[in-house]
Amino acid sequence: MQTQFQTCLVAAVDEPLYLPMSDTQRWHEIQFAHGYFNSALHELAHWCVAGFERRQLTDYGYWYEPDGRTAEQQREFERVEVRPQAIEWHLTLASNRRFQVSVDNLSGEPTDAAPFRESVRRQAWQFQENGLPDRAQTLVGLISQAFGTDQTSFSFGSSATGASDS
Protein backbone atom coordinates (compact mmCIF):
# COMPACT_ATOMS: atom_id res chain seq x y z
CA MET A 1 0.00 0.00 0.00
CA GLN A 2 2.79 2.39 0.89
CA THR A 3 4.69 1.84 -2.32
CA GLN A 4 1.83 1.42 -4.79
CA PHE A 5 -0.46 4.13 -3.40
CA GLN A 6 2.06 6.23 -1.45
CA THR A 7 -0.21 5.77 1.56
CA CYS A 8 0.48 4.63 5.11
CA LEU A 9 -1.73 3.69 8.05
CA VAL A 10 -0.87 5.48 11.31
CA ALA A 11 -2.18 5.00 14.86
CA ALA A 12 -3.33 8.47 15.95
CA VAL A 13 -3.64 9.72 19.49
CA ASP A 14 -6.99 11.39 18.87
CA GLU A 15 -9.74 11.20 16.24
CA PRO A 16 -9.27 9.61 12.80
CA LEU A 17 -8.07 11.80 9.97
CA TYR A 18 -6.92 11.38 6.38
CA LEU A 19 -4.09 13.67 5.28
CA PRO A 20 -3.05 13.84 1.64
CA MET A 21 0.55 14.02 0.57
CA SER A 22 2.00 17.54 0.61
CA ASP A 23 5.29 19.42 0.25
CA THR A 24 6.07 18.56 3.88
CA GLN A 25 4.57 15.05 3.92
CA ARG A 26 5.78 12.48 1.42
CA TRP A 27 2.96 9.93 1.99
CA HIS A 28 -0.80 10.10 2.21
CA GLU A 29 -1.67 9.25 5.82
CA ILE A 30 -4.69 7.31 7.07
CA GLN A 31 -4.78 8.07 10.79
CA PHE A 32 -7.00 5.80 12.88
CA ALA A 33 -8.33 6.62 16.35
CA HIS A 34 -6.48 5.79 19.54
CA GLY A 35 -4.66 2.81 18.03
CA TYR A 36 -7.90 0.79 17.84
CA PHE A 37 -7.85 -2.10 15.38
CA ASN A 38 -11.51 -1.61 14.40
CA SER A 39 -10.88 2.09 13.76
CA ALA A 40 -8.04 1.13 11.42
CA LEU A 41 -10.37 -1.12 9.43
CA HIS A 42 -13.05 1.57 9.29
CA GLU A 43 -10.62 4.22 8.04
CA LEU A 44 -9.18 1.79 5.48
CA ALA A 45 -12.73 1.20 4.22
CA HIS A 46 -13.21 4.94 3.70
CA TRP A 47 -9.91 5.02 1.78
CA CYS A 48 -11.17 2.17 -0.42
CA VAL A 49 -14.32 4.14 -1.30
CA ALA A 50 -12.60 7.48 -1.99
CA GLY A 51 -11.70 8.14 -5.61
CA PHE A 52 -8.42 9.66 -6.77
CA GLU A 53 -9.60 13.28 -6.47
CA ARG A 54 -11.03 12.73 -2.98
CA ARG A 55 -7.73 11.18 -1.87
CA GLN A 56 -6.03 14.51 -2.63
CA LEU A 57 -8.19 16.30 0.00
CA THR A 58 -7.96 16.37 3.80
CA ASP A 59 -10.48 13.84 5.15
CA TYR A 60 -11.40 13.18 1.50
CA GLY A 61 -13.20 16.55 1.44
CA TYR A 62 -16.13 15.18 3.45
CA TRP A 63 -17.95 16.87 6.31
CA TYR A 64 -18.21 15.16 9.64
CA GLU A 65 -20.84 16.13 12.17
CA PRO A 66 -19.81 14.66 15.56
CA ASP A 67 -21.95 12.68 17.97
CA GLY A 68 -25.12 14.57 18.83
CA ARG A 69 -26.50 14.77 15.28
CA THR A 70 -30.11 15.65 14.54
CA ALA A 71 -32.31 12.99 12.90
CA GLU A 72 -31.78 14.68 9.52
CA GLN A 73 -27.98 14.82 9.98
CA GLN A 74 -28.05 11.16 11.06
CA ARG A 75 -29.91 10.13 7.90
CA GLU A 76 -27.24 11.87 5.80
CA PHE A 77 -24.48 10.22 7.84
CA GLU A 78 -26.09 6.82 7.27
CA ARG A 79 -26.53 7.49 3.55
CA VAL A 80 -22.79 8.05 3.05
CA GLU A 81 -21.71 5.30 5.49
CA VAL A 82 -23.35 2.29 3.82
CA ARG A 83 -20.54 1.51 1.35
CA PRO A 84 -17.64 2.12 3.78
CA GLN A 85 -19.26 0.02 6.49
CA ALA A 86 -20.04 -2.78 4.04
CA ILE A 87 -16.37 -2.82 3.02
CA GLU A 88 -15.36 -2.63 6.69
CA TRP A 89 -17.49 -5.75 7.27
CA HIS A 90 -15.42 -7.61 4.67
CA LEU A 91 -12.15 -6.34 6.18
CA THR A 92 -13.33 -7.36 9.66
CA LEU A 93 -14.26 -10.88 8.57
CA ALA A 94 -10.92 -11.17 6.77
CA SER A 95 -9.20 -10.41 10.09
CA ASN A 96 -11.30 -13.08 11.82
CA ARG A 97 -13.16 -10.57 13.98
CA ARG A 98 -16.82 -9.76 14.58
CA PHE A 99 -18.24 -6.76 12.72
CA GLN A 100 -20.58 -4.24 14.32
CA VAL A 101 -22.48 -1.62 12.36
CA SER A 102 -21.86 1.80 13.88
CA VAL A 103 -24.46 4.57 13.90
CA ASP A 104 -21.92 6.72 15.79
CA ASN A 105 -24.54 8.98 17.38
CA LEU A 106 -25.08 7.89 20.97
CA SER A 107 -26.11 11.31 22.29
CA GLY A 108 -28.03 12.51 19.23
CA GLU A 109 -31.73 12.40 18.44
CA PRO A 110 -33.03 8.82 18.60
CA THR A 111 -33.52 7.12 15.24
CA ASP A 112 -34.33 3.58 14.14
CA ALA A 113 -30.97 2.01 13.23
CA ALA A 114 -32.49 -1.19 11.80
CA PRO A 115 -32.90 0.12 8.22
CA PHE A 116 -29.29 1.35 8.20
CA ARG A 117 -28.00 -2.00 9.49
CA GLU A 118 -30.01 -3.77 6.79
CA SER A 119 -28.65 -1.44 4.07
CA VAL A 120 -25.09 -2.18 5.20
CA ARG A 121 -25.80 -5.93 5.22
CA ARG A 122 -27.32 -5.79 1.73
CA GLN A 123 -24.36 -3.82 0.37
CA ALA A 124 -21.88 -6.24 1.98
CA TRP A 125 -23.73 -9.14 0.35
CA GLN A 126 -23.73 -7.36 -3.03
CA PHE A 127 -19.98 -6.87 -2.74
CA GLN A 128 -19.63 -10.59 -1.97
CA GLU A 129 -21.71 -11.51 -5.02
CA ASN A 130 -20.41 -8.90 -7.50
CA GLY A 131 -16.93 -8.11 -6.22
CA LEU A 132 -15.41 -5.42 -4.06
CA PRO A 133 -13.79 -2.26 -5.41
CA ASP A 134 -10.19 -3.03 -6.46
CA ARG A 135 -8.38 -1.51 -3.46
CA ALA A 136 -10.83 -3.15 -1.07
CA GLN A 137 -10.38 -6.54 -2.74
CA THR A 138 -6.60 -6.19 -2.51
CA LEU A 139 -6.81 -5.35 1.21
CA VAL A 140 -9.25 -8.18 1.95
CA GLY A 141 -6.90 -10.58 0.18
CA LEU A 142 -3.86 -9.38 2.13
CA ILE A 143 -5.70 -9.43 5.45
CA SER A 144 -7.20 -12.88 4.73
CA GLN A 145 -3.73 -14.18 3.96
CA ALA A 146 -2.29 -12.68 7.17
CA PHE A 147 -5.12 -14.06 9.35
CA GLY A 148 -5.62 -17.36 7.51
CA THR A 149 -9.26 -16.70 6.63
CA ASP A 150 -11.18 -17.81 3.55
CA GLN A 151 -12.88 -14.81 2.00
CA THR A 152 -15.09 -17.03 -0.16
CA SER A 153 -16.85 -18.30 2.98
CA PHE A 154 -17.82 -14.91 4.43
CA SER A 155 -21.42 -14.87 5.64
CA PHE A 156 -23.57 -11.78 6.04
CA GLY A 157 -26.67 -13.57 7.33
CA SER A 158 -30.25 -12.73 6.52
CA SER A 159 -30.27 -9.68 8.77
CA ALA A 160 -27.83 -7.44 10.58
CA THR A 161 -28.68 -8.87 13.99
CA GLY A 162 -26.00 -8.77 16.58
CA ALA A 163 -24.71 -5.48 15.25
CA SER A 164 -24.43 -2.80 17.87
CA ASP A 165 -25.29 0.88 17.74
CA SER A 166 -21.91 2.00 19.02
Query: What pLDDT does residue 158 have?
Result: 54
pLDDT per residue as tens, the chain (166 positions): 768 899 999 999 888 999 999 999 999 999 999 999 999 999 999 999 999 999 999 999 988 877 888 889 989 999 999 999 999 999 999 999 999 999 887 777 788 889 999 999 999 999 999 999 999 999 999 999 999 999 888 888 754 443 434 4
Its domain, for residue 132, covers: 71-153
Number of structural domains the chain divides into: 2
Query: What pLDDT does residue 68 have?
Result: 86
Query: What pLDDT does residue 142 have?
Result: 95
Whole-prediction pTM value? 0.90
Residue 138 burial (CB count, 10 A): 15
CA of residue 19 relative to chain centroid, distance: 16
48 & 79 share domain: no
84 & 11 share domain: no
122 & 93 share domain: yes
Query: What pLDDT does residue 55 have?
Result: 97
57 & 85 share domain: no
Contact assessment for residue 41 and residue 95, using Cβ atoms and an 8 Å cutoff: yes
Decide if 164 is inside a domain.
no
Contact assessment for residue 87 and residue 45, using Cβ atoms and an 8 Å cutoff: yes
Instruction: Name the amino acid, one letter, at 126.
Output: Q
116 & 92 share domain: yes
Show the beta-strand stretches assigned E in 66-115: none
Decide if 132 is inside a domain.
yes
| Burial of 66 from C-beta contacts in 10 A (0-12 / 13-18 / 19+) | exposed
Query: What pLDDT does residue 153 have?
Result: 81
Query: What pLDDT does residue 155 have?
Result: 86
Decide if 77 is inside a domain.
yes
Query: What pLDDT does residue 164 have?
Result: 39
